[in-house]
Each structure stands twice: as structure tokens, then as C-alpha cells.
């Protein structure tokens, strides 16, 4: 009878897992092969035939190795979402908010861009300049947790998504609270806020998130090609 | 040809259903499925373990090492509460699919 443990160890030598976990897999699979072999022998098969039939359970050991690695790296979908979206997203949101608050505490005044008389927009330029960095960080953390591309981008623009959500809550509330304000003025104010706090910061975050996502996904693809 | 999604779904249903009866190690689990389906479902080692590991990562089943009476160490798998929760809708979906296929084939023969 072959040394099944040794045989499995040799054929799955490239399992990219921790030593203890790898050893457990070898023991488990070797136990399975040994029981299959003993069962076939008990049915009356000759030694060589039983070995042949037992080993025929695995047509391609490299493929089995690959599938075990994929399976071991599969995570709970909830855990996935936590690591790929919520943690990077909230970190990006927190850091960018702290930076904006620091600017405001230190008395930094926003740049006022005016056109057409009273129509103005306020832009915190140093904050906007910092956003590509935060967007890139969110994208990096999300990509490192194995996110698909769309989720990487969502994590990188997470701060503006939460701001957009706030604005969309504030708008209907303002219809009730400030009922005397003209709709035209209210909508203009909403659009201006949307531009200042969602569109421009969103573009800045994407300016950091997109290159990181592009660069990391290409690196990952080339690594996969090398493994295959 | 049966698609991989359908194959995976039936395999998961088979494993969860059999483990609902009690904990089993991999080899015994494969044998039990084969016996209970009169050989219609047959799991080789290469098909079984990646699936068990994936289901374990998804917390539907839990594996733990046990020593049998003959001193052999085996990893026994048992259903988790998450697995039990997964099993009920899975059963419903497959029952619906089979009913639909049955209706379809009856119409085709009519």
C-alpha cells in the first residue's frame, strides 16, 4: 500500500497555504484515499487495480490544488462586503472629514468662485487637493481585500456618496421646514451644494481611486497569468 | 450538458441534506450521498473537498478533527446554524425547479 500522506504531500506541494493548514489538508485527503483503497481491496480488487482506481479520483492534481486555494480563500459574503467596501469607505470618509475639519478649525477660508452676480460656489482647495490621496487609499484597501473593480471605485468615492445621501435627505425636509422659500431658489441651492460637495470632490476622489484601481488590477492580472 | 452552476447547486444541496442527519467525515459523506441517490450522485475526492472547504469558509458547515476507534484521525463535518438556514431556501428552489421541469416535460409529451 502506498504512503498516501507522502503521495498527497508530493502532489500538492505547491499549496499556497500556511504550514499547519497544508498539513491538515494532506492528512485529510490521504485519509480519504486510504479509505477508498481499503474499501476497493475489501471488494476483492487486486492491489495495483485498487491503487489505480483510488488515484483515478484525481485526474489533475494541479487543478485540485488551484481549486483548494480558491475555496480556502472564499469568504462569507457579509465579511467580504465589510472588508471590501465598509471599512475602506468609512476610513476614507473619516480621514477626509477630519482633514476638512482641521482646515476649518485653523481658520482656512474656502475659495469663493463667483459668476453671474450672487451665484457663487465655495471650494476648499487644499481639501480637494488631498482627496485623490484619500480616494487612492480607499481603492487600495478595497482592492487588497479582493474587491471587484466596481466595488473598489465605490470604496474610493464613499465620502461623496454619504454626502450625496445627506443632500437627498435634506432636500425634501427643506420643503417642509422652509416652506416659504421659492422652489427655484431651493433647487438652485441644492444644485450648488451638489456641485460643491459631491461632483467636484467625487471627481477628485476618482482622480486618486481610478489610477490605483487600474494599476493594482493590472498587477494582479499579470500575477495570475504568471501562476497559470 | 449540465451547467456548473446547476452542478454546484445540487452538490451543495446534497451535502447539506446529508449533514443534517448528523456529522460525517469526507469519505463517509461521499459514500452516503452515493448510496442515498442510488449512485446518481458520485463525488470523487477532487470534487468533494474544494466544495467542503468553500462551504466551510461560508460558515455553512464546520469541520473538526476526531479520532476514530481504530485510532485514525478524521475531519468530521457538521451543519452550522448558517447551513441550516441555507438549506431551507435551497430545498424550496430545487423543488420549484423540478416541478417546473416536470410540467415542461409533460407539456412536451402531450
Task: Output the nine-digit C-alpha cell for A217.
Answer: 488590477
pLDDT in the model for residue B109 = 61
Interior/surface letters A107-139, b for 16+ CB within 10 angstroms, e for the rest:
eeebeeeeeeeeeeeeebeebbebbbbbbbbbb
Task: Give the span between the Cα atoms of A104 and A99, in whole angstroms.
Answer: 9
Contact A59 B46 (CB under 8 A): yes
Q: What Cα–Cα distance (Å) separates residue A223 from each residue in A110, A216, A217, A227?
A: 45, 10, 10, 6
Mean pLDDT on A3-9: 93
In what helix (H) or strand (E) does residue B24 lie, and over which residues does it extend?
strand B24-25
- Nearest chain A residue to B74 by CA: give it: A28
In chain A, where the domains are located: 4-73, 80-227
Helix (H, G, I), strand (E, B) or coil at A188: helix
What is the ipTM for the molecules in this complex?
0.85
pLDDT in the model for residue B7 = 60
Nearest CB to B59; choose among A31, A35, A76: A76
Which of A22, A24, A28 has the most B C-beta neighbours within 10 Å, making it the best mutation to test the interface with B? A28
Helix (H, G, I), strand (E, B) or coil at A129: helix
Task: Give the span between the Cα atoms of A22 and A13, in whole angstroms.
Answer: 9
pLDDT in the model for residue B104 = 82
Helix (H, G, I), strand (E, B) or coil at A14: coil
For chain B, give percent helix, strand, coil, nearest 5. Answer: 65, 15, 20
pLDDT per residue as tens digits for the range B31-78: 999 999 888 888 899 999 999 999 998 889 999 998 887 788 899 999
pLDDT per residue as tens digits for the range A173-184: 877 777 777 777
Is B4's pLDDT higher than 60? no
- Nearest chain B residue to A63 by CA: give it: B46
Helix (H, G, I), strand (E, B) or coil at A180: coil
Which of A31, A59, A62, A69 has the most B C-beta neighbours within 10 Å, making it the best mutation to test the interface with B? A31
State the nearest Cα–Cα gap between B103 and chain A, in angstroms.
Answer: 34
| Strands (DSSP E) found in A105-208 | 111-114, 120-123
Q: What Cα–Cα distance (Å) separates residue B57 from each residue in A174, B6, B20?
A: 47, 20, 18
Q: Give the percent of chain A with pLDDT over 70.
A: 91
pLDDT per residue as tens digits for the range A78-131: 777 888 889 999 999 999 999 999 988 888 888 877 766 567 788 888 999 999
User: A207, A151 in Cβ contact below 8 A?
Assistant: no
Average pLDDT, chain B: 85
Amino acid at each position: 500500500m502506498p504512503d498516501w500522506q507522502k503521495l498527497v504531500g508530493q502532489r500538492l506541494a505547491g499549496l499556497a497555504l500556511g504550514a499547519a493548514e497544508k498539513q491538515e489538508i494532506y492528512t485529510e485527503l490521504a485519509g480519504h484515499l486510504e479509505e477508498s483503497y481499503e474499501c476497493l481491496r475489501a471488494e476483492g480488487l487486486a492491489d495495483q487495480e485498487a491503487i489505480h482506481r483510488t488515484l483515478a479520483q484525481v485526474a489533475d492534481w494541479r487543478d485540485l490544488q488551484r481549486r483548494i486555494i480558491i475555496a480556502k480563500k472564499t469568504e462569507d459574503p457579509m465579511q467580504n462586503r465589510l472588508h471590501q467596501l465598509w471599512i475602506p469607505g468609512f476610513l476614507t470618509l473619516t480621514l477626509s472629514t477630519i482633514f476638512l475639519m482641521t482646515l476649518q478649525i485653523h481658520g482656512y477660508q474656502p475659495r469663493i468662485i463667483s459668476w453671474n452676480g450672487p451665484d457663487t460656489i465655495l471650494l476648499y482647495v487644499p481639501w480637494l487637493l488631498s482627496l485623490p490621496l484619500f480616494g487612492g487609499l480607499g481603492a487600495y484597501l478595497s482592492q487588497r481585500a479582493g474587491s471587484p473593480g466596481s466595488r473598489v471605485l465605490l470604496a474610493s468615492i464613499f465620502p461623496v456618496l454619504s454626502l450625496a445621501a445627506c443632500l437627498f435627505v435634506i432636500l425634501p425636509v427643506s420643503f417642509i421646514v422652509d416652506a416659504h422659500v421659492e422652489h427655484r431658489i431651493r433647487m438652485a441651492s441644492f444644485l450648488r451644494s451638489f456641485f460643491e460637495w459631491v461632483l467636484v470632490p467625487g471627481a477628485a476622489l476618482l482622480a486618486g481611486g481610478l489610477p490605483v484601481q487600474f494599476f493594482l488590477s493590472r498587477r494582479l492580472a499579470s500575477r495570475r497569468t504568471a501562476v497559470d | 450538458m449540465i451547467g456548473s452552476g446547476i452542478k454546484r447547486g445540487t452538490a451543495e444541496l446534497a451535502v447539506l441534506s446529508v449533514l443534517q442527519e448528523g456529522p460525517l467525515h469526507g469519505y463517509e459523506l461521499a459514500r452516503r450521498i452515493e448510496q442515498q441517490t442510488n449512485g446518481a450522485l458520485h463525488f470523487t475526492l477532487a470534487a468533494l473537498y474544494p466544495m467542503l472547504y468553500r462551504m466551510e469558509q461560508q460558515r455553512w458547515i464546520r469541520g473538526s478533527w476526531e479520532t476514530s476507534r481504530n485510532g485514525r484521525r478524521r475531519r468530521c463535518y457538521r451543519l452550522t446554524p448558517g447551513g441550516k438556514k441555507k438549506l431551507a431556501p435551497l430545498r424550496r428552489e430545487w423543488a420549484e425547479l423540478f416541478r417546473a421541469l416536470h410540467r415542461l416535460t409533460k407539456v412536451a409529451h402531450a
